[in-house]
Structure 1
Amino acid sequence: MYKYLYNVNNPEDLKKMNIKELNELTNEIRKFLVRSVSKTGGHLASNLGIVELTLAFHYIFETPKDKIVWDVGHQAYVHKMITGRTSEFETLRKFNGLSGFPKRNESVHDAFDTGHSSTSISAGLGLAMARDIKKENYEVLSVIGDGALTGGMAFEALNHLGHTQTNMTVILNDNEMSIDKNVGSMSNYLLKLRTNKAYKKIKVEFENITNYIPKIGDTVYKTADKIKDSLRYIVSPGALFEEMGIKYFGPIDGHDIEELIQTFKTIKKFKGPSIVHVITKKGKGYRFAEDHPEKYHGVSPFDIKKGIQKSSKETYSSVVGEKMVEMAAKDKNIVAVTAAMPSGTGLGKFQNTYPERFFDVGIAEGHAVTFASGLAANGIKPYFAVYSTFLQRGYDQIIHDIALSNLPVTLLLDRAGIVGADGETHHGVFDLSYLNSIPNLTVMAPMDKYELEKMLELSRTITCPVAIRYPRGEAFKYKQDDCELNVGEWDLIKKGSKVALIGIGAMVKTCLKCSDILSERGINITVINGRFLKPLDFNMLEEIYKEYDYIMTVEDNVLIGGFGSSVSCHLSKLGYKGKLINIGFEDKFIEHGNVDILYDKYGLSATKIAKKIIEEVK
């Protein structure tokens, strides 16, 4: 099936191949990627689109001596294959298996650990400047997508790169997509670059003419340069990069491997900062992914012939999306904000129903937070839906622009807790801790679908900042009742004796399973839904601290500064004499893998918690 693929075990093997063989290899790689990812799940469309570009990198440059920094890094599968990891792809994103992102501890060819957007130029510039300080000699390339270029950090880095004038190349992989279709003026700017064929033709012809002008003095050359500059302003929007001091090359067909190789040969001789604008097609080579690249960004295992089938499962994201539409129908001041993820956060229906009240700001979480605060300052009720791990990028803005002014912005933290296969950079296990420290903020976490809907309704009435965090995946359905939900009130779900187990958010389900396990052993414990982190239910804590010998908290968050930490602090003030045990993640980054495996490894599965209780009370 594969003539060349398994003969490429390192970048040096590529250099022995001719253009025809490289083109055949690209087809084999795409077939392999579709087959492999259909079994393991992973990021498919982005990797299908970058095959030729990756081969061209490794054909011209020499890793690990030369450094390639991948922005986000989910598109580095081909890079992993070329650098000797093809045989490990059956373990991709599995526990103890190959990571879905570049990892320095996985290969010497991975120059920098990545996972979040808009970071590659900053990291690459750091590598390049360290090289210069140490008087070393190697190339640095930073790969960044057009979607990631909307992140302010990317422009901060470009500004600095132009100032340093160091030798470094930025590869702009332009596929018109991030996860959902790109929006904003930067997207429109790149569209002009993409479609401006006139500039490229005129530029080449003008340079050919000026090369033949007789050498009759500096005046002619200075005049020619001025004409070229004027031409650039008239015809090419690419002048933006040039004005920043960065030489612009492109646009280039990202699927023409011969043109890419020739371009990189030229770039390698060029000294100073440069940007190469490459046009690629996300999902190339697999019809379903080409037609719907947004659906094939990150996928679960699927049938190759049928493609991804729509799931009938109701997720927490879809619950939020439906409820937001319902609430917006009642309140015209409600608006939704997202950072390039309308589909991922469940806001697609809201976008279609209320387009004038929907704002996709691109990959710019810090801006999204402050933008929402501006809306709130003028009487609008904004809801910013964002993955927990990405809200970390807006931490200062939450403090400075929302909480300090006590503005009624609601933060909807999707993918809180363990997310599984994407690993360290994507787990949302820090949010309870960093939100816990911010004044004026109400923080809540629902135990199931119905409580999430109630919390959304409650947020409409709260006139201060609110954060609601909920997990990835299918929405748990425990009980649907009409009991009132009040700020700072917990829910005693099950009454027992001796041990009170207090869970928050998704961990309440785990606590209930734990209770069932213990009941079979004749141990009946109390289970409490600690649905508010801020404020805590001080009344309930004052009721239970005299009644139970053991009080245990469970959270899918790091222990430092989290839910258990707050409960411990208050119980200490009350003079609690029993044994307090906090269960959560220790002070370390959690690796990628199956969610159930990770919970069990770190003592957060129902069986491990039950075992701990039995050991304590026996």
Structure 2
Amino acid sequence: MYLEQINGPEDVKKLSGEQLTKLAAEMRQVLLKRASIHGGHFGPNFGMVEVTIALHYVFESPKDKIVYDVSHQTYPHKMLTGRKDAYLYEEHYDDVTGYSSPQESEHDHFTVGHTSTSVSLACGLAKGRDLNGGGGNVIAVIGDGSLSGGEALEGLDFAAELESNLIIVVNDNDMSIAENHGGLYSNLKLLRETKGEAECNLFRAMGLDYVYVDEGNNIDVLIKAFQSVKDSTKPVVVHIKTQKGKGYAPAEKDKESWHYNAPFNIETGEPLGVPQGEDYSDITAKFLLEKMKKDPSVVAITSATPTVLGFTKDKREEAGKQFVDVGIAEETAVALASGIAANGGKPVWGVYSTFVQRTYDQIAQDLCINNNAATIVTFCGTVYGMNDVTHLGLYDIPMMANIPNLVYLAPATKEEYLAMLDWSLEQTDHPVAIRLPGGPVISDGRKVTKDFSDLNQYEITQKGSRVAVVGLGTFYSLGQSVAKELEEKTGTKATVINPYYITGIDQEMLEDLKKDHDIVITLEDGILDGGFGEKITRFYGDSEMKVLNYGLKKEFLDRYDAAEVLKDNRLTKEQITEDVMKLM
């Protein structure tokens, strides 16, 4: 097996053309086995095997610096840069992250998990090299889907200014996570159809040299292309046509579903251990499709992750023009939603919490200053969500809860969520965001009659004394458990409060608690600094009320165990009860 003998790029250079082809086949087989057991990004890596081999055959990593965009496609790169054991042997599968990581290897130059960044990062490396009189090639690898992100276009626009070595490898498989959207893709299609000969050329228009490779999964052809641009003295784009998911028939046929996969059966492609029960994506799609049929002004918006809203291909077709995918362009998604709302539409943008930070400016400026009634639904804003360091869903509360005019809501149940979503679509007074709970969907069947227009009015769901437990969203059920534990251990029946609103406080209720309560505890599924609990603490700052805030400390967690993190932050019912009893 050739892969077993690869300890670094220098070993790749020793192989003949025939041996390199066999190496590619071995790498795909290893990728397939690992993905079937461990899960991970599938399609992007399968399409990049030959490109990665050719890059390391021609260039001199790490002297020549390769920067991978979003780094969904770095598994082959890791195999060839001293980390093959993490792909060959099951007991080592978790030795590496799913993204590029300088902590792992000198061949990785940035921790990258969000998209459209590689060209700008590579421009920085090239400029730093030039300022210091250094040498070596700088190579940015970016997929066609990532080109729809604003930063990618900004990087391409700046690249020509360098007037020195910079190689931009555009991996074009005619796919983002789902299908590509946007006008630039008509030009990429034209370039593919003309084998790079079309006069209309996005990259040349930006002042960049250009090389087209039609056989992007042919190692020999790729090697020649990379050799032709190695040590170039001008920024150049190498535009490569590849096949996403190449080498595994189900992934070649259904590129969207096989972008990322949980463990699956290799023979059938069927997923293993599929979670049972409802999820908020499906619930959202069902609700919105029903709304769309009754109201043509309702529109769902995604920024290249349509299934976050539950809109699989069949549902997108059912929604027609009432579903919009702006590509990997969160900024445009928010501005578009604001414009739609300003002109009488009812937009809903669905987004993973980790991507909210990519459009903070538009939420504040384009949406909230203008006070347009668009709706944002935040998915995976929870300790129970994605847990890679680049994809943490723990920071949306401090970011969004402190923007004026925005109403940020936190349902604890399916019924509360649907009531909030329905209210948000029908009201015209506020931009509204809804933070979905983490963990399994909780449905209590209770009809929600609350009028959410009466802002910042919390609900007491259990009346007690001495101790008040304010459990926000996901942690409302934890608050119920704490109250029960406290009553069992001390006989004290605590007041339990569902606050609903992240962005404001119920001053009247909090003031009333002073009459017969000594302690208030707040529970939130996110970072404490700048979060929900601090608002409560500030309210009681000049009083005798003791306030305990529970949430997560500010840190970059990576591949964590949620139960351990909760315990480290004293977010178990036993620990919280213990703390309260010390104060009582």
TM-score per shorter chain, which class?
Answer: over 0.9
What is aligned with 1:291? 253
Give runs of aligned pairs for residues 69-468 of structure 1, distance below 5 A.
Answer: 69-89=67-87, 90=90, 97-197=95-195, 200=197, 235-238=198-201, 240-309=202-271, 312-348=276-312, 351-418=316-383, 420=385, 422-463=387-428, 464-468=430-434
| Preserved CA contact (<8 Å) 2:74 2:99 | yes
What is aligned with 1:603? 570
Cα 1:25–1:332 shift into 2, 3 Å: same
1:507 Cα deviation (Å)? 1.6
Q: 10-19 vs 517-526, which deviates more?
A: 517-526
CA distance in 1, matches of 2:499, 2:266: 44
Partner SS state of residue 528, structure 1: strand
Cα 1:615–1:289 shift into 2, 3 Å: farther
Task: Number of aligned residue pairs: give it.
Answer: 575
How far does the alpha carbon of each residue in 1:345-366 deviate from its partner, in whole angstroms, 9 at most, with x for none? 3133653332122211111111
Cα 1:417–1:166 shift into 2, 3 Å: farther
1:76 Cα deviation (Å)? 0.8
Q: Which amino acid counterpart does residue 300 of structure 1 have in structure 2?
A: A
Aligned with residue 492 of structure 1, among 460, 483, 487: 460
Cα 1:407–1:126 shift into 2, 3 Å: same
Partner SS state of residue 481, structure 1: coil
Cα 1:37–1:352 shift into 2, 3 Å: same
User: Which structure has the greater CA radius of gyration?
Assistant: 1
What is aligned with 1:49? 47
What is aligned with 2:29? 31
Q: Which amino acid counterpart does residue 212 of structure 2 have in structure 1?
A: G
Indicate whether 1:549 and 2:518 are aligned: yes
Q: 578-587 vs 542-551, which deviates more?
A: 542-551
Q: Which has the higher contact order (CA 8 A, sep 6+)?
A: 1
| Preserved CA contact (<8 Å) 2:164 2:232 | no
Partner SS state of residue 47, structure 1: helix
Cα 1:277–1:537 shift into 2, 3 Å: same
CA distance in 2, matches of 1:191, 1:180: 16
CA distance in 2, matches of 1:46, 1:474: 29
Cα 1:482–1:18 shift into 2, 3 Å: same
What is aligned with 1:22? 20
1:583 Cα deviation (Å)? 1.3
Structure 1, unmatched stretches of 5+, are 201-234
How far does the alpha carbon of each residue in 1:227-278 deviate from its partner, in whole angstroms, 9 at most, with x for none? xxxxxxxx3333x312322111103322101111111111114221001111
CA distance in 2, matches of 1:490, 1:457: 19
CA distance in 1, matches of 2:495, 2:91: 41
1:404 Cα deviation (Å)? 1.0
Structure 2, unmatched stretches of 5+, are none
CA distance in 2, matches of 1:615, 1:60: 66
How far does the alpha carbon of each residue in 1:267-308 deviate from its partner, in whole angstroms, 9 at most, with x for none? 114221001111111111122222212112222222222324
How far does the alpha carbon of each residue in 1:483-502 deviate from its partner, in whole angstroms, 9 at most, with x for none? 42433222333344433221
How far does the alpha carbon of each residue in 1:46-94 deviate from its partner, in whole angstroms, 9 at most, with x for none? 1111111111111111222211111111211111121122223547886
CA distance in 1, matches of 2:478, 2:250: 38
CA distance in 1, matches of 2:582, 2:330: 45
Q: Which amino acid counterpart does residue 548 of structure 2 have in structure 1?
A: I
CA distance in 2, matches of 1:92, 1:194: 40
How far does the alpha carbon of each residue in 1:407-462 deviate from its partner, in whole angstroms, 9 at most, with x for none? 11111111212355551221121111111221111110111211111110111233
Give runs of aligned pairs for residues 429-578 of structure 1, distance below 5 A.
Answer: 429-463=394-428, 464-471=430-437, 474-486=440-452, 487-518=455-486, 521-522=489-490, 524-572=493-541, 575-578=542-545
| Preserved CA contact (<8 Å) 1:93 1:422 | no
1:480 Cα deviation (Å)? 2.4
Q: Which amino acid counterpart does residue 488 of structure 1 have in structure 2?
A: N
Partner SS state of residue 385, structure 1: strand
TM-score under structure 2 normalisation? 0.93
Q: 272-281 vs 534-543, which deviates more?
A: 534-543
Cα RMSD for the two superposed structures: 2.2
Q: Which amino acid counterpart does residue 237 of structure 1 have in structure 2?
A: C
CA distance in 2, matches of 1:395, 1:525: 38
Partner SS state of residue 337, structure 1: strand
| Preserved CA contact (<8 Å) 2:215 2:240 | yes
How far does the alpha carbon of each residue in 1:2-46 deviate from its partner, in whole angstroms, 9 at most, with x for none? x12221121111111111111111111111112112222211111
Cα 1:59–1:332 shift into 2, 3 Å: same
CA distance in 1, matches of 2:159, 2:346: 39
1:125 Cα deviation (Å)? 0.3
Cα 1:478–1:62 shift into 2, 3 Å: farther
Cα 1:544–1:6 shift into 2, 3 Å: farther
Cα 1:454–1:245 shift into 2, 3 Å: same
Q: Give me the identity figure in percent.
A: 38
| Preserved CA contact (<8 Å) 2:382 2:437 | yes
What is aligned with 1:579? 546
CA distance in 2, matches of 1:91, 1:499: 48
1:510 Cα deviation (Å)? 2.9
CA distance in 2, matches of 1:283, 1:462: 44
CA distance in 2, matches of 1:552, 1:427: 25
1:519 Cα deviation (Å)? 5.2
1:596 Cα deviation (Å)? 3.2
Q: Which amino acid counterpart does residue 220 of structure 2 have in structure 1?
A: E
Q: Which amino acid counterpart does residue 292 of structure 2 have in structure 1?
A: A
Cα 1:194–1:600 shift into 2, 3 Å: farther
Q: 496-505 vs 158-167, which deviates more?
A: 496-505
CA distance in 2, matches of 1:616, 1:308: 53
| Preserved CA contact (<8 Å) 1:196 1:236 | no
CA distance in 1, matches of 2:260, 2:579: 36
Partner SS state of residue 184, structure 2: helix
Q: Which amino acid counterpart does residue 480 of structure 2 have in structure 1?
A: L
Indicate whether 1:588 and 2:552 are aligned: no
